[in-house]
Structure 1
Amino acid sequence: MSSSKYHLAQVNIGRILAPLDDPLMAGFVARLDEINALADGTPGFVWRLQTEEGNATDLRPYDDDRILVNMSVWESLEDLKAYVYKSAHAEVMRQRRQWFEKFEGMYMALWWVKAGHIPTVAEAKRRLEYLSEHGPSAHAFTFKQPFPPPDVAPENFSVTLFDPCPAA
């Protein structure tokens, strides 16, 4: 359990190679329920963007309807890193190029939110845009250049070294 009064929000976007009902996307679609359930049961998980059906693939907040958005909130940076890089999610990330184009520009942003705050898609888009325009800062950052929660002094903030993205 995190002792911080802040939780970590994340957004990542990706442009799928084909519509979700295309046979090319079958492997991705087949793993959605499993990977979403894994997130829901992972220590430190707080919330994820989802429809009543339990995933976010029907949400299209960008003009390009092939851009999917994923958002979640975690108790800590370490909790999110464990899920992304040390669980079955990493296997799906390694297969990413089967289903997603190489994205030009920033596709992932992290930021701290007060515990209990659920970020909106509009908020997430703004953080992603800010990161793209200004680079990592306390306002929006990456796994590679993390910033501490507002209630933790930088000298008291320690994270494990960055593990390269399995999709790289």
Structure 2
Amino acid sequence: MYHLAQVNIAKLLAPIDSPQLLGFTSRLDMVNAMAESAPGFVWRLKGDGNDATSLRPFPDPEVIVNMSVWESVEALFDFTYRQADHTGVMRGRREWFARHEGAYMALWWVPAGHEPTLAEARERLDHLDRHGPTPVAFTFKERFPAPVPA
């Protein structure tokens, strides 16, 4: 059995504790709680505290990361684009995050129970940049099915 891993990154327009990002940071706990209670949610990356904003796995220290695992593409898509509070937060992204060159989100299949690492996430984003969507790393627009268990 396989689950869907996702990573997305964003470059901050200001320090994480700045008033400019308050519209984002003040909603993190709410959005994370909604994700954890959403149908199909399995796991999410956490750093210090209850979110991953303290983690800086990329060379640019202004890049933050979000990574989670879901039971299916549909479960993640529904939370991302159909959950009203989450879409409300997404509408403010241009106030908080710089436009990103290259892949900023990647999806890939992992064996059920596997928690992806930040190194895996970087590899998937790099793969998507180099090769476009493939079964190794893909997007909502170009999806690939889970591997068939042997």
Normalising by structure 1, what TM-score? Answer: 0.86
Letter in 2 for 1:114: P
- In the other structure, the counterpart of 2:43 is 47
Q: Render the CA deviation track for 1:34-89: whole Å, top value 9, x for unaligned.
A: 00101010010000001251100000001211100000000000000010001111
Q: 2:78 aligns with which of 82, 87, 108?
A: 82
How far is the alpha carbon of 1:95 from its aligned partner? 1.1
CA distance in 2, matches of 1:129, 1:27: 30
**How many percent identity over aligned positions?**
57
Question: Which structure has the highest strand share of the two?
Answer: 2
Matches within 5 A, 1:90-101: 90-101=87-98
- In the other structure, the counterpart of 1:156 is none
CA distance in 2, matches of 1:46, 1:52: 20
Normalising by structure 2, what TM-score? Answer: 0.96
Q: Render the CA deviation track for 1:106-165: whole Å, top value 9, x for unaligned.
A: 10000000001110000010011001000101110000000000018xxxxxxxxxxxxx
Q: Which runs of 4+ in 1 moved over 2 A?
A: none
Unaligned runs of 5+ in 1: 153-168
Letter in 2 for 1:59: L
SS where residue 116 of structure 1 aligns? coil
Q: 1:121 aligns with which of 118, 121, 143?
A: 118
Letter in 1 for 2:136: H
Unaligned runs of 5+ in 2: none
Matched, 1:26 2:26: no
Residues paired across the two proteins, number: 148
CA distance in 2, matches of 1:19, 1:52: 16
Q: Render the CA deviation track for 1:15-47: whole Å, top value 9, x for unaligned.
A: 010001111111111010000101010010000
Q: 1:59 aligns with which of 38, 55, 69?
A: 55
CA distance in 2, matches of 1:51, 1:69: 10
Letter in 1 for 2:131: H
